[in-house]
């Protein structure tokens, strides 16, 4: 995985480290750290929050531990429907607890591509906690509503635009195929100047990586 990413010019990888308040395979995290370090790449740890239900203080503690175990360069926190539908200020509580543990760690908030369609999620709490935005710009799932340019414009209402890092959907799901490669490339060019991510390592095609690696 790390070798393939490095070959195509990618500078970092993400390792899923937390599910809810559970810290996952420590040996996997340490192995990913070795693999990225050997290739002069950065490593991020990723956590899915709210599964099966939000436990913000415990989840913040698990994310902080994952960062330490992996010696991660930065973190990605993913909160979606469980936090959107929760009672009480769960986003605010997570952010406060997390920043108590990791006040200075560069951290990204990954969530729905269009905040305007999910007003019950407390977007302000994440922005106020100095998280950078990472919109899930899965145009492959909804070509009308989830173009990267649309997602970036929407997220920029809460997060600093120049620090947004849209995530491209390089996978097939629910009868939706991969985007045609020319459109995938065009979608990135429409948000020129922003860095981007690819989701996910196991499904991205070599041809997609090759085309994206040619972008300046």
Residues 100 and 10 in one domain: yes
Give me the pLDDT at residue 1, please. Answer: 85
Instruction: Choose one of 86, 105, 124: the last residue of a domain.
Output: 105
In a domain, 123, yes or no: no
Residues 70 and 148 in one domain: no
Residues 72 and 161 in one domain: no
Q: Tokens for 15?
A: 């390792």
In a domain, 127, yes or no: no
Q: How do beta strands 74-78 and 107-111 pair?
A: parallel
Give me the pLDDT at residue 201, please. Answer: 83
Residues 101 and 18 in one domain: yes
- pLDDT tens across the length of the chain (216 residues): 899 999 999 999 999 999 999 999 999 999 999 999 999 999 999 999 999 999 999 999 999 999 999 999 999 999 999 999 999 999 999 999 999 999 999 999 999 999 999 999 999 999 999 999 999 999 999 999 999 999 999 999 999 999 999 999 999 999 999 999 999 999 999 999 999 999 988 899 999 999 999 997
**Angstrom distance (rounded) from CA 167 to CA 170:** 9
Instruction: Choose one of 105, 122, 146: the last residue of a domain.
Output: 105
**Structural domain count of the chain:** 2
User: Is this prediction's pTM over 0.95?
Assistant: yes
Instruction: Choose one of 105, 122, 147: the last residue of a domain.
Output: 105
Residues 80 and 150 in one domain: no
Helices (H), the chain: 2-7, 26-38, 56-70, 81-84, 90-101, 123-128, 148-155, 181-189, 206-213
In a domain, 114, yes or no: no
Residues 8 and 86 in one domain: yes
Q: Alpha carbon of 66 to those of 78, 102, 130: distances in Å?
A: 14, 11, 19
In a domain, 58, yes or no: yes
Residues 100 and 175 in one domain: no
Q: Which residues pair with 132 in a beta bridge?
A: 108
Q: Tokens for 68?
A: 């330490």
In a domain, 118, yes or no: no
Residues 3 and 89 in one domain: yes
In a domain, 28, yes or no: yes
The CATH number of the domain where 78 resides is what?
3.20.20.80
Residues 22 and 98 in one domain: yes
Q: Which residues pair with 43 in a beta bridge?
A: 13
| Among candidate residues 20, 41, 24, the one with its CA nearest the CA of residue 201 | 41
Residues 157 and 204 in one domain: yes
Residues 90 and 175 in one domain: no
In a domain, 113, yes or no: no
The CB-side HSE value for 90 (13 A sphere, CA atoms) comes to: 21
Residues 95 and 152 in one domain: no
In a domain, 213, yes or no: yes
The domain in which residue 191 lies consists of 136-216
């Amino acid at each position: 995985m790390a070798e393939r990413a490095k070959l195509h010019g990618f500078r970092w990888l993400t390792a899923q480290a937390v599910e809810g308040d559970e810290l996952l395979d420590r040996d996997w995290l340490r192995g990913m750290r070795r693999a990225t370090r050997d290739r002069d790449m950065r490593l991020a740890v990723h956590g899915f929050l709210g599964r099966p239900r939000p436990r913000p203080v415990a989840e913040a503690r698990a994310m902080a531990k994952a960062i330490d175990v992996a010696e991660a360069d930065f973190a990605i926190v993913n909160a979606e429907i469980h936090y959107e539908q929760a009672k009480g200020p769960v986003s605010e509580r997570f952010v406060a607890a997390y920043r108590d543990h990791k006040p200075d760690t560069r951290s990204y908030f990954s969530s729905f591509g269009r905040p305007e369609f999910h007003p019950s999620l407390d977007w302000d709490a994440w922005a106020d906690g100095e998280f950078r935005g990472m919109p899930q710009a899965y145009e492959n799932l909804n070509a009308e509503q989830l173009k990267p340019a649309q997602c970036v414009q929407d997220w920029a209402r809460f997060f600093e635009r120049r620090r947004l890092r849209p995530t491209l959907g390089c996978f097939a799901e629910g009868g939706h195929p991969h985007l045609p490669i020319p459109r995938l490339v065009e979608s990135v060019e429409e948000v020129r100047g922003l860095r981007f991510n690819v989701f996910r390592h196991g499904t991205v095609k070599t041809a997609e990586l090759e085309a994206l690696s040619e972008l300046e």
